């Protein structure tokens, strides 16, 4: 029993960081009032660039390249939505489509349909003294992003809730006029949040290709960016909430894979497709229960226009 729990926890901790980072990126962007539908595309670009970079440089450095790539795509989003006040959902969807088709095109032109050549994965850290403890030992043996993913949500929560910068970021998503009245730059704050969100989404993607897998594949990230959006909504636009939701999704997935491999008989009772659909149906059910009380930023999706124009 303890062994099963250990294995479940271990694979959750391995798989969750990508989702956690992307969800945090989405929270950051949306709290500042910019819709983050493009997270999926930013993850894909981050995953692709990190894998390609890792062929030429140390993997840890390649992860940074992936982050920058995510931020570059976010910059396009920022240019269209902040500078030119384009529809934020349209811009995000367009970026997803471009990342999907463009990634496939580049992958096949450069490396062929089977993905990039294998790369050196991020090194795993053995925590001395912890590896032999039952269950808790699952905390040992992960790569750096896992530990960062356990820490970052709480840092972000504190940052948003307790610092002047956090207050300004939240205000710019709720009432940009008020922020402008104080003489602060609405565009500047939003740019910061969007680029930060891009860095995080890029990191999420980079984790997929350098820690979860050892290459970039055709289908990476296969909808994980949309799961991150769900985690954000489900976590009510708070960093820790999104983290818990993302961890829950990752655990559910590990549970499904674990159950199927350890008890194949289960598939005779419950079809695979139903198990696959379960997390999404659960999300829908929870959103239904949660209803309108979700605290989405008030000015989310509304381009900011100065009155004086």
Q: Is residue 101 part of the contact set for other proteins (CB under 8 A)?
A: yes
Question: Does 244 contact other proteins by CB under 8 A?
Answer: no
Which pair of structure tokens corresponds to residue 8? 């479940």
State the DSSP H helix or E strand holding residue 250, giving kind and residue range, or none if neither.
Answer: helix 239-262
Residue 53 CB, nearest approach to other proteins (Å): 18
Which of 89, 127 has the CB closer to other proteins? 89
Least distance in angstroms from the C-beta of 203 to other proteins? 22
Tokens at 21, concatenated: 């980072």
- Cα separation, 180 vs 186, whole angstroms: 6
Q: Which of 160, 224, 221 is nearest to 196 (CA)?
A: 160
DSSP SS3 for 56: coil
* 281 sits near other proteins (criterion: CB under 8 A): yes
Regarding 276 and contact with other proteins (CB under 8 A), the answer is: yes
User: Taking a C-beta distance cutoff of 8 angstroms, is the pair 19, 204 a contact?
Assistant: yes
Q: Map tokens 């491999």 to a residue.
A: 261
Residues 73, 198: contact at Cβ < 8 Å?
A: yes
Closer of 178 and 281 to other proteins (Cβ): 281
| Distance in angstroms (rounded) separating the CA atoms of residues 145 and 140 | 13
Q: Mask 43-82, x = binds other proteins (CB under 8 A)?
A: ---------------------------------x---x--
Using the minimum distance from each CB to other proteins, give the nearer residue, 59 or 91. 91
CA distance to 107, 212, 213, 216, per residue, from 113 (Å): 7, 20, 16, 11
Q: Interface with other proteins includes 261 (CB under 8 A)?
A: no
**Subset of 116-175 contacting other proteins (CB under 8 A):** none
**Residues at the contact surface with other proteins, assessed by CB under 8 A:** 37, 76, 80, 84-87, 89-91, 93-95, 97-98, 100-102, 104-106, 108-110, 223, 226, 229-230, 233, 271-274, 276-277, 280-281, 283-284, 287-288, 291-292, 294, 296
């Amino acid at each position: 029993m303890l062994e099963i729990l250990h294995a479940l926890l271990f694979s959750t901790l391995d798989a969750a960081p990508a989702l956690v980072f992307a969800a945090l990126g989405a929270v950051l962007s949306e709290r500042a009032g910019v819709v983050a539908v493009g997270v999926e595309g930013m993850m894909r670009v981050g995953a692709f660039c990190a894998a390609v970079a890792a062929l030429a440089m140390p993997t840890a450095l390649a992860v940074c390249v992936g982050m920058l790539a995510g931020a570059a795509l976010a910059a396009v989003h920022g240019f269209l939505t902040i500078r030119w006040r384009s529809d934020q959902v349209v811009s995000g969807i367009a970026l997803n489509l471009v990342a999907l088709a463009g990634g496939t095109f580049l992958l096949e032109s450069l490396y062929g349909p089977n993905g990039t050549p294998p790369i050196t994965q991020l090194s795993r850290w053995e925590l001395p003294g912890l590896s032999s403890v039952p269950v808790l030992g699952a905390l040992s043996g992960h790569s750096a992003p896992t530990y960062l993913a356990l820490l970052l949500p709480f840092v972000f929560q504190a940052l948003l809730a307790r610092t002047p910068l956090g207050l300004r970021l939240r205000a710019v998503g709720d009432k940009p006029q008020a922020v402008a009245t104080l003489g602060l730059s609405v565009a500047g704050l939003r740019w910061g949040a969007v680029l930060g969100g891009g860095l995080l989404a890029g990191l999420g993607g980079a984790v997929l290709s350098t820690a979860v897998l050892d290459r970039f594949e055709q289908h990476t990230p296969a909808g994980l960016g949309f799961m991150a959006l769900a985690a954000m909504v489900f976590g009510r636009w708070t960093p820790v909430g999104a983290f818990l939701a993302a961890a829950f999704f990752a655990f559910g997935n590990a549970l499904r894979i674990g159950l199927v491999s350890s008890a194949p008989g289960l598939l005779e009772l419950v079809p695979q497709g139903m198990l696959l659909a379960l997390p999404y149906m659960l999300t829908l059910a929870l959103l239904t229960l949660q209803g309108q009380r979700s605290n989405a930023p008030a000015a989310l999706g509304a381009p900011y226009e100065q009155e004086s124009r």
